[in-house]
Amino acid sequence: MSNKSEPLISVIIAIYNPGKHLYKCLDSIIGQTYRNLEIILVDDGSTDDSLSICNEYAAKDERIVVHHKENSGVSATRNQGIRLAHGDYFSFIDSDDILEPDAYEYMLALIKEYDADAINYEHYITYPSRERTHKLSEENYGLFDREGAIYQLVHNVMFAWNKLFSKRIIEDIWFNEEICRGEDSLFAIEAFNKADKVYFDSRPLYHYIQSENSAVRGKFRTSQLTAIKLIDIYEPFFKSNYPSLYDKQMGMLMNLMTTLYFDMSMDKENFKKEKSLVVGRFKELYSKTNMKKLTKKQRFSFCLFRISPSLSLAQRKANIAIRRLKSGK
């Protein structure tokens, strides 16, 4: 299917009840200045009008392929998209987000210029009444080798949707269907582990939409505890392949454990057993990590959580309240 003169980009969109946002998402893809796209829409058993919307767009644009399946989660849905794809490059877009009109044309130009295996690009965070740009310091942008690219993932944003991957580096890599939180970060790390060069660009190309519901923490789902499995994947991986990044990644995992604890605490349910599990895994990580390799802020936060998760929770709530006061919300 690939045009030899122009690389084929497979755009995979996992869809589950995005509502009215789906129209803007699809419009932003079919309106791309780069035309050689294979647009794969995988409906994960949506209960809204998503499937009919997908079929409506497919009837108007022959580049669109629609696949409907029973609900099984975003990882299984993206994996189905990978199986259906024929592209030279792969892009994973969330069904309620928007891409800048020249995004793929721009990224392919960077790949050609730098002979890169992947592009990592910046994004806007779009709220109902405002939008802000996600921005890092300048040293985090540019061309990196494999270890440098993994370093950037560990230190910065590890989503799958803010990247364009070459087919070569994602061959035989799948989204882990047993993990329901942090699975996209795992996919990105495994893909970049096969890359020779990755270009990190400072231009925001993606609008990460925060709906009214996104602004309020929803009900905690116990399936999110599958993120604990990341510990047993990342620990040996970094110890063997990137020992200089081991402590930093363990810090990221400790932060994930404290976040899971916080999310459970904000829910009306008790989750006593689940909290105990999270605290136990946190303490294991703490004992294996050289805390001197982490920031002062991390060391204080993790030490407080180790001593008293309830005090750590109180501090986190206070920090949120202070930020809201400063922002006028």
Question: Residues 185-189: what's their mean pLDDT?
Answer: 97
pLDDT of residue 326: 67
Look at residue 213 and tell me whether its pLDDT is greater than 80.
no
How would residue 325 be classed by pLDDT, with cut points 50, 70 and 90? confident
Structural domain boundaries in the chain: 9-209, 222-327
Question: Residues 297-324: what's their mean pLDDT?
Answer: 91
pLDDT of residue 187: 98
- Residue 288 φ/ψ, nearest 5 degrees: -100, -5
Is the domain 9-209 a CATH 3.90.550.10 member?
yes
pLDDT of residue 217: 47
Question: Residues 215-227: what's their mean pLDDT?
Answer: 78
Are residues 293 and 248 in contact, defined by beta-carbon separation less than 8 angstroms?
yes
Q: Which of 180-194, 202-216, 268-282, 299-313 has the lowest mean pLDDT?
A: 202-216
Look at residue 1 and tell me whether its pLDDT is greater than 70.
no
pLDDT of residue 4: 55
pLDDT above 70: percentage of residues in the chain: 95
Look at residue 323 and tell me whether its pLDDT is greater than 80.
no
Q: Nearest Cα to 117, choosing from 146, 92, 138, 93?
A: 146
Alpha helix segments (H runs only) across the chain: 21-30, 50-60, 74-84, 103-114, 146-155, 167-170, 183-192, 229-241, 246-265, 272-288, 296-307, 309-327
The set of residues, in sequence order, having a beta carbon less than 8 Å from that of 187 and lying 6+ positions away, is 160, 173, 174, 175, 176
Residue 312 CA to residue 4 CA, distance in Å, equals: 56
Q: Is the torsion defined by CA of 85, 87, 88, 92 positive or negative?
A: negative
pLDDT digits (tens, 9 = 90+) for 82-115: 999 999 999 999 999 999 999 999 999 999 999 9
Look at residue 216 and tell me whether its pLDDT is greater than 50.
no
Which residue shows structure tokens 């592209």?
Answer: 87
pLDDT of residue 218: 60
Structure tokens at 70: 């029973």
Question: Residues 50-69: what's their mean pLDDT?
Answer: 98
Question: Residues 242-248: what's their mean pLDDT?
Answer: 96
Q: Nearest Cα to 152, choosing from 242, 259, 60, 277?
A: 242
Are residues 36 and 9 in contact, defined by beta-carbon separation less than 8 angstroms?
yes
Q: Structure pTM?
A: 0.92
How would residue 257 be classed by pLDDT, with cut points 50, 70 and 90? very high
By residue count, the chain amounts to: 329
Residue 210 CA to residue 29 CA, distance in Å, equals: 19
Upper half-sphere CA count for residue 201 (Cβ side, 13 Å): 22
Question: Residues 210-216: what's their mean pLDDT?
Answer: 55
Question: Residues 117-144: what's their mean pLDDT?
Answer: 95
pLDDT above 90: percentage of residues in the chain: 86
Look at residue 37 and tell me whether its pLDDT is greater than 80.
yes
Are residues 257 and 281 in contact, defined by beta-carbon separation less than 8 angstroms?
yes
Average predicted confidence (pLDDT) for the chain:
93
pLDDT of residue 212: 53
Look at residue 215 and tell me whether its pLDDT is greater than 50.
no
Our CA angle for 212, 93, 197, nearest 5°, is: 130
DSSP-based three-state secondary structure for 5:
coil
Cβ–Cβ contacts within 10 Å for residue 131, how many?
14
Structure tokens at 259: 């976040």
